[in-house]
Structure 1
Amino acid sequence: MAILKHPETGERKQIDGEIPFGATYGVEGYDEEQEEFWEQVRVDIDGESWIVVDDGTDMVSLGPDT
């Protein structure tokens, strides 16, 4: 299950499944109040841009025991 957040309203949305890597894109900016750069991963759904909070992908770590 993937979790998305609307960048303007803060509304959160859960969708079934995973968001494919190729469907996302990066957005960068500079916060003048915090004096730091920021980056977000986003995806477009139905013509709207959403921040990807969790892409729903289960990451598997291949360690020395595998």
Structure 2
Amino acid sequence: MNASIVDVHALTTWRPLKIRQNTMEMAQVGSRRGCALKDSIIFVQSHVPQVMELHTYAQW
């Protein structure tokens, strides 16, 4: 299973500890729902610089 935790929109608020907590909770929800984590790719959107780079190019 491939999944992403989409959090870039949340970065407009200044609550970094809450964002980090929510990100971890979302990852835990997937594991509780039976996702085999060893067979999965899960990434956090804000941790992938290419996401924002692509967004910048797409706005042109």
TM-score normalised by length of structure 2: 0.24
- CA radius of gyration, larger in: 1
**Higher normalized strand content (fraction of residues):** 1
Q: Considering Cα pairs closer than 8 Å and 6+ residues apart, tell me whether 1 or 2 has the greater RCO.
A: 2
* TM-score between the two structures when normalised by the length of structure 1: 0.23
